[in-house]
Amino acid sequence: MKSRTDALDATVYGVDVHSGDVRGDSPSYALVRLSEEGVEHDVVSRRKLLRLVADEEPSIVATDNVYELAEDKDGLVRLLRELPAETRLVQVTGDESPEPLSRVASRHDVPYAKKPSKEAEASARLAARSVGYAVRAFDDTTRVRVSRGRSTGSGGWSEDRYTRKIHGAVRRRAREVEDTLDEEGFEYEKEVTEKYGGLANAEFVVEAPRNAVPLSNERSGDTRVEVEAVRRDGIEFESLAQRRETVVVGIDPGTTTAVAVVDLDGELLNVTSSRSADTAEVIEWIIERGRPVVVAADVRSMPSTVEKIRRSFDAVGWTPDDDLAVVDKKHATSEDEYRLENDHERDAAAAAVFAYRDHADQFDAVRRKTPRDVDEDEVLARVLSDELSVETAVEAVADDDEDDESHETREPTEEEKQIRRLEKQVARLKEHVEELEERVDRKNDEIAELEDELTSARSEKARDVRERREVKRLERKNDELRRKLKKERQARKETRGKLNRLKKLWRVEHPDFADELGDDYTVVKAVEEFTKTALDEAEEAFGLAEGDVILLEDASGAGRATAERLAETEPRLVLKHGAISTEADKVLFDADVPVADADGIEMRRIDEFGIMREGDVRDAVERWEEHAEERRLRRAEETVDELISEYRVERKR
């Protein structure tokens, strides 16, 4: 046999109005926490009650009337939306037509007194026994919406980029949500709104209850995720435990215990047998399958085990006048619906069937004569146990209900009224303080969030400015290098063309000289004047490079700076027409740049170029080096003479 599990193994809240009214003055509530650790009593405001529920997440919040917590159906829906996913709101007195709490408590042997704290405790204990109806306003379907966490703004140089950034973030977060749902194996429908650069929003309708979806509400930077259960068309009440059907039970005890359950129409609902089940397990098995009003045995003297089970249900016992014969039991259980596996199950089923037949007229009379607003099970129990007529039992049950509803507490004294007024005032002041504290917390959170956004915006703006400046600088530099490269390529192309034309023309105009030189000749680059301007023009026209032979058409007038400019190109030989200045000569000499007169050197000229023998270049360089060595020696001798003269002058002093 299967043992019945506890209806509850977590915390249950019982709630009842202590003072005020949810539709008018701010109410306070008697709160009872029922858990394995015991029972705790408290009085709290509505706001604090909701905060405690959010923090502790009890499995059930139980009350005798859900409209003590919400002013109307819309308010009830808002309340259900605020509750944690694992917490159920339970009305222990019934569904749309609730019974008095006193009657429900009495039926289930739960202590009751007409005080808010006691009523709250009774509600908690009833809910812990799976008595009552859970209020539901949402389907087992969850809507997950991913949307923009910021406004895209309007105007500004970076609006397009900023909009793309936000829509791209929404697309990425939507993909993450979709991956999570796919990994968990959920079925869902997806609908997205495409926008510039990504998505404006994405909505997933998941075929699963809210507490099963591993996603939560969040807002992070550019995106926001909202998770909520899909609302039903109306509000429904769902029984915590399916209402147990009134049944007749037959039991055959012994080494093998068999139990059969028959409904009030004589139909066999269930039958089982076991060699290992004890009395507690048999009781639990019966509880799961119905509420017994008759417990029967197939022998004249009821066995002690069957009697113990009967008393646990406060049911009526039934035994035959004589032990049932085997032939009678086989005849009573021979129909097709009785699928019995052994004689023990047959005996238990036969006991239940004979007990049903003996009370069938009473069952029919109760069903026919009990008004809809009177508890039929209670009437049947009184007819069977008290041996009353149906009419008398109906009147007795109705009178008990009127007594429960008409019961009133005594009028409170003036002192008690004053105490209640002061308690209400204190509760309001406490609630006001809590509201102010919550408002301060919200403002602080808003300030912190705005400061974070401001810091982020400033940082992003500064980064954008730096990036924009750097991009512009690099673009300018790139354009400049492109222009320079284009200019250099054009100059090189023109120079190469001039050289090619020079060689062709020179060979055409001087075939004898060309044959004489063969390939052993050098190109000379001519510069009109020994000035910076002329050097720059030559550089731009045909380029001045290391190892060139340069001809200065007019060497006069150059100073130190011009000579240094020429020396930087590191020419192989400088040929000159005219005298060079002393300052320029010294600079070129110190830079080891050979200088020779162009007069006397055989050279063919075409435009700004010349052609001369390579041997003449080498001879000119060698002659300069010889003169340069002599010049260095003279300079060294002059330096020694100056030192000696200075020394003599110093001695005379």
22: closest CA among 60, 62, 75, 64?
75
pLDDT tens digits, residue range 208-263?
888 788 888 888 888 999 988 888 777 888 877 655 678 999 999 988 999 999 98
CA–CA dist 105, 122 (Å, integer): 7
What are the phi and psi torsion angles at 484 (to 5°)? -65, -40
Which pLDDT score is estimated for 375?
74
Once rounded to an integer, what is the mean pLDDT over residues 53-62? 93
Q: Is the pLDDT of residue 415 over 90?
A: no
Most confident of the following: 104-108, 321-325, 511-515, 631-635: 321-325
Q: Rounded to 5 degrees, what angle do the CA atoms 171, 176, 177 make? A: 95
Rounded Cα–Cα distance for residues 558 and 42 (Å):
107
Query: Which of 2-11, 92-101, 479-488, 495-504 is the least confident region?
Result: 2-11
Q: In the structure, what pLDDT confidence band is assigned to residue 427 with cuts at 50, 70 and 90?
A: low
The larger pLDDT score, comparing residue 157 to residue 525, is at 525
Contact (CB, 8 A) for 164 and 199: no
* CA–CA separation, 92 and 524 (whole Å): 114
SS3 content of the chain, % helix, strand, coil (to 5): 50, 20, 30
Residue 120 and residue 257: Cα distance in Å, rounded? 41
What pLDDT is stored for residue 430 in this prediction? Answer: 76
Tokens 């309340």 identify what position? 79
Beta pairing partners, 302? none
pLDDT tens column, 522-575: 888 899 899 999 998 888 877 788 888 999 998 888 889 999 999 999 999 999
Q: How far apart are the C-alpha atoms of 307 and 61, rounded to whole Å? A: 38
CB burial of residue 577 (10 Å; 0-12, 13-18, 19+): middle
Residue 357 pLDDT more than 90? yes
240-275: burial string, b at 16+ Cβ within 10 Å, e else? beeeeebbbbbbbbeeebbbbbbbbeeebeebbbee
Q: Mean pLDDT throughout 416-420?
A: 65
Do 92 and 62 form a contact (C-beta atoms < 8 A)?
Answer: yes
Structure-token pair, residue 83: 């509750």
- Mean pLDDT score of the chain: 83
At 367-386, the pLDDT tens digits run: 888 887 777 778 888 888 77
Q: Given this model, what pLDDT does residue 13 score?
A: 96
Q: What is the DSSP letter of 66?
A: G
Q: What is the DSSP letter of 599?
A: T
Report pLDDT digits (tens) over 277-299: 888 788 878 887 888 999 999 99
Mean pLDDT of 613-623: 89
Q: Residue 5's pLDDT is what?
A: 32
